[in-house]
Each structure stands twice: as structure tokens, then as C-alpha cells.
């Protein structure tokens, strides 16, 4: 039985590694997700077998009833949630997933301390330092991940203000709370019989999660989500050491490492350090709509009917999607319009910025849902060198990721952030509901460039109007 369990865990671990590798590329992401899901199925099977092995001839329904109940409840919640969630709410769902992973690790740590039939004191008398340390880490990191992810969810869902919550001496207070949690870890490892330390450590972990995320503004939530994803993996890894489960250790390490890598990628895409994201309070949604230091000029509105004449003659068009496309659920209309452009002899590309939307990969998921060909998706580094050769750039709800101030205005709060150089295209159409600023709360001088035109309204309706114009011309 032991050999079979080891083999199942080994295959599950390989599935997780392969799945993670395939998730790194757009055209293999779906396959990677399926392989990872199969790996999780094997992990559950292996866990059942391990429980059976532990109880031997004493095995009964009572030994696994809570696992079965949990699986049924999770299935009842998970399937409808996955099918009914809107694409605009996907970042919030990912934030909740991270939080659930954190609380699961916290509960594993608690169960390891309080589930022994001979009592906590007897268990503590023979528990080794590594086990005690990893239990505390599972609780500490899991608690931070849980409450931090809940705050991220609340900010993304606008249940609370997306503005940074700041007060004098905030970093000092947070540092003191963190030091108290670390001191609690030392005391617990030295004398695990002090259960009050374990309780206080749990409370401090939950407080730290709130304290760390509440000062971060809405525009930085993509970084927070990837960071919390990493934390959930580290918590799982610690829990794996605590319960001596090699698969949990491996999986947690993979998630933790990949989350840190993704966080680093996101920070580079914003030209920010992680410390700056966590402690600066930048990124307030709904913040000041301050203008660029340069004279802005006047925005030029254009109707979809007039835009048609330019697009009808275009030989190359680049779509630059942002959160506004998710809000309008315009991805399918964009794909239909792109197909019409291609039939008209136009080359179509989709330029996706790493932090477009409100979570890593948000726009990629939207475009994949609309069956956009993977080879038409281009990264920022690939499209920028040839942007001046594009006839038209269509910016759909994106704002900060195409803001020229990041390149031109040293006084701008986003100066130095790598952007998609949409303004270099021969003509730029900006699809927005209004002239409002983006999630970073600053005005965008792209709206006032000589080659830029504003097409106001819902992005989906605008796309449908352009589709209608093309179809009318074809019918004629």
C-alpha cells in the first residue's frame, strides 16, 4: 500500500510540475489546467488510501465521512461558482481562492496541535523543533493570506474603498505586530505547552493580513493577488512539513515559487519594487484625476460610423484590451469584428500588457474565452518596436497601460512604467464610456494626441456598431 501511495503522489507531483509549465504559455494553458486538475484528483485518491492504510482493519465510514462531506459541499459550491462567475469578477474569485488556501493551511496547523487523543501537553512533550516551527508558519502565513485575500477581494469588488488606508506611523505599527508574531513563534517552539501563545499568534496573523493589504490601492491589486497566491503556496508547504506529506510540500513550494516569480514580473511591468507596492500607498482607485504637467489640448470624439471609413482601409490593426473590455463583456464582439477585418485583408493583433485588467492574465483569459487565436496575441516587448507601422490601434477600456506620461512626464506617478506605445500608431481609437481616469487615478494625455479619437459608449455596443457597418457594406 505504501508503495502505491508513493507512486500516486509522485505522478500527482509530476502532473503539477507539467501543468505549471504548460500554464506559462497561452496556447498550452488549457492543457496545463487539465493536467493539474488530474494531479489534484490523484492527490485526493492518495490521501484516501493513506487514511485507509493508517486505520487498517479499523477502517470505517466514520474515518472518512468528514472528507466526503467536505468534497460534496465543495463540489456543490465550486461547479456553479465556476460556471456563473462573470469574467469581470474573476479577480475577486482568484482572491477568494487564495484566501481559502490560506485558511486551509491554518486549519491544518491547528488540527496538528489539537487533534491528538492524548492531549496537547503529551503531544508537545515529544514534538520536534521542525514540526513546531512549520506548524506555526502554516498558521502565521495561512492567517495572513486569508485576511489579506479577503481585503483584496473587498477592494476589487468595491465592498470597501479601493483607496489606500493610511495613517501616521503605519509601517512602524505593522513592524511591531510582525515582531510580536515572530516572538510568539520562538516562544511556541521553545515551549509548545504555552497554548496561549499559539492563540495569540493566530490572532496576530489575521491582523497582519489586514494591516498589510489595507494600505495598498486598487491599481496595485494585480500584484497583491499574485503575492497572496505565493503566500498560500508557502503556507501549504509549511503545512506539508507539519503533517509529513511530501506531495503537499512539493505543491506548496511550486505555488510559492511561481507566485513570487509572477509577483516580480508584475512589479517590473509597473516599474515598481515590491516594497514600494506594499508600503507606498500608491494606486488609489477613484483618486485624483490630476492632469499631466503638459498642456492637454482637446479630445476629438468620433462616431463608430466615421471610424468605419478609417478601419475599412486599414491594413493592420492592433487591439489593446483593458478592464473596460471585461466590464462591457465585449470580447466576443471584438473577435467577430477582428474576423471581419481579416476578411477585408487586414492583419490583426492583440497587444496584452502584463498588468492589464485586475489580475495577472485577466485579458488573456477573456480573449481565450472568445477563441482568439493564440498566435495573434503579442506581448508588449514585441509590439512596441513595430507599433509605428500599425495603421490603427484600438484601445478598449485600457488606460494606465497606454498612458504616455509613463514615458514622457517625469512628474507623473507612473513615470518609468513600461507601457504599450499605442500613441505611436498612425491612428488611435479609444473606446471608453467617459473621460474618467483609470484605476491609478491620473489623467491620460493619449486622449488628446493629434492622432487619437475618442469613441464614447459601451465597448460592446461600439463593436456591434462597427460590425453592423462592415456587414452593411458587404451586403451592398
Residues of 289-310 as b/e, b for ≥16 C-beta within 10 angstroms? Answer: eebbeeeeeebeebebeebbeb
SS3 276: helix
Whole-angstrom CA distances from 415 to 18, 167, 318, 442, 474 are 38, 25, 24, 12, 45
Contact 143, 209 (CB under 8 A): yes
Cell reading at 29: 494553458
Residue of 400, 405, 409, 423 marked active site: 400
DSSP-derived secondary structure letter, 437: -
Catalytic, 400? Answer yes
The count of other CB atoms within 10 Å of the CB of residue 193 is: 12
Cell reading at 252: 506548496
Q: Closest Cα to residue 334, out of 429, 229, 460?
A: 460
Contact 268, 291 (CB under 8 A): no
Cell reading at 93: 474569485
User: How many residues are listed for the chain in this entry?
Assistant: 476
Q: Closest Cα to residue 112, out of 131, 92, 91?
A: 131
SS3 1: coil
Residues of 381-417 as b/e, b for ≥16 C-beta within 10 angstroms? Answer: eebbeebeebbbbbbbbbbbbbbbbbeebeebbbeeb
Residue 444, by phi and psi: left (phi above 0), alpha (psi -120 to 50) or beta?
A: beta
Whole-angstrom CA distances from 222 to 90, 262, 267, 346 are 12, 10, 9, 33
Q: Closest Cα to residue 427, out of 401, 456, 450?
A: 450
Contact 446, 469 (CB under 8 A): no
Cα angle 98, 100, 106 (rounded to 5 degrees) comes to: 110
Q: Which residues lie across from 192 on neighbouring strands?
A: none
DSSP secondary structure letters along 283-299: --TT---BPPSS-----
Strands 377-379 and 392-396 come out as unpaired
Active site positions, annotated: 400
Amino acid at each position: 500500500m505504501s508503495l502505491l501511495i508513493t507512486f500516486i503522489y509522485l505522478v500527482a507531483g509530476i502532473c503539477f510540475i507539467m501543468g505549471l509549465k504548460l500554464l506559462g504559455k497561452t496556447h498550452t494553458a488549457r492543457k496545463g489546467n487539465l493536467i493539474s486538475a488530474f494531479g489534484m484528483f490523484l492527490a485526493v485518491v492518495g490521501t484516501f488510501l493513506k487514511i485507509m492504510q493508517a486505520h487498517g482493519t479499523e477502517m470505517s465510514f466514520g474515518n472518512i465521512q468528514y472528507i466526503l462531506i467536505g468534497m460534496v459541499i465543495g463540489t456543490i459550491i465550486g461547479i456553479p461558482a465556476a460556471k456563473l462567475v462573470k469574467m469581470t469578477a474573476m479577480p475577486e474569485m482568484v482572491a477568494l481562492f487564495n484566501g481559502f488556501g490560506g485558511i486551509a493551511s491554518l486549519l491544518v496547523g491547528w488540527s496538528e496541535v489539537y487533534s491528538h487523543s492524548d492531549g496537547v501537553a503529551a503531544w508537545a512533550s515529544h514534538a520536534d523543533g521542525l514540526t513546531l516551527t512549520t506548524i506555526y508558519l502554516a498558521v502565521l502565513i495561512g492567517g495572513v493570506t486569508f485576511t489579506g485575500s479577503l481585503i483584496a477581494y473587498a477592494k476589487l469588488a468595491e465592498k470597501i474603498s479601493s483607496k489606500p488606508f493610511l495613517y501616521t506611523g503605519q509601517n512602524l505599527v505593522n513592524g511591531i505586530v510582525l515582531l510580536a508574531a515572530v516572538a510568539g513563534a520562538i516562544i511556541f517552539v521553545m515551549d509548545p505547552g504555552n497554548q496561549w501563545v499559539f492563540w495569540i499568534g493566530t490572532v496576530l496573523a489575521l491582523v497582519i493580513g489586514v494591516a498589510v493589504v489595507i494600505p495598498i490601492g486598487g491599481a496595485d491589486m494585480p500584484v497583491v493577488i499574485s503575492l497572496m497566491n505565493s503566500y498560500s503556496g508557502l503556507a501549504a508547504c509549511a503545512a506539508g512539513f507539519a503533517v509529513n506529506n511530501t506531495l503537499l510540500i512539493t505543491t506548496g513550494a511550486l505555488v510559492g515559487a511561481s507566485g513570487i516569480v509572477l509577483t516580480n514580473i508584475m512589479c517590473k511591468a509597473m516599474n515598481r519594487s515590491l516594497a514600494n507596492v506594499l508600503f507606498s500607498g500608491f494606486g488609489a482607485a477613484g483618486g485624483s484625476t490630476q492632469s499631466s504637467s503638459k498642456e492637454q489640448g482637446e479630445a476629438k470624439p468620433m462616431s463608430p460610423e466615421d471610424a468605419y471609413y478609417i478601419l475599412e482601409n486599414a491594413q493592420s490593426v492592433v487591439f489593446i484590451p483593458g478592464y473596460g473590455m471585461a466590464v462591457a463583456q465585449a470580447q466576443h464582439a471584438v473577435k467577430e469584428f477582428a474576423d471581419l477585418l481579416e476578411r477585408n485583408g487586414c492583419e490583426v493583433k492583440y497587444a496584452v500588457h502584463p498588468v492589464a485588467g485586475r489580475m495577472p492574465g485577466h485579458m488573456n483569459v477573456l480573449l481565450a474565452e472568445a477563441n482568439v487565436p493564440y498566435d495573434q496575441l503579442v506581448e508588449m516587448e514585441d509590439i512596441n518596436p513595430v507599433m509605428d507601422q500599425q495603421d490603427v490601434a484600438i484601445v478598449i477600456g485600457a488606460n494606465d497601460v497606454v498612458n504616455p506620461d509613463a514615458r514622457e512626464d517625469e512628474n507623473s506617478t507612473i513615470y518609468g512604467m513600461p507601457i504599450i506605445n499605442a500613441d505611436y500608431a498612425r491612428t488611435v481609437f479609444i473606446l471608453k464610456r467617459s473621460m474618467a481616469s483609470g484605476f491609478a487615478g491620473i489623467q491620460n494625455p493619449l486622449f488628446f494626441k493629434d492622432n487619437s479619437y475618442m469613441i464614447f459608449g459601451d465597448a460592446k455596443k461600439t463593436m456591434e456598431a462597427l460590425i453592423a457597418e462592415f456587414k452593411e457594406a458587404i451586403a451592398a
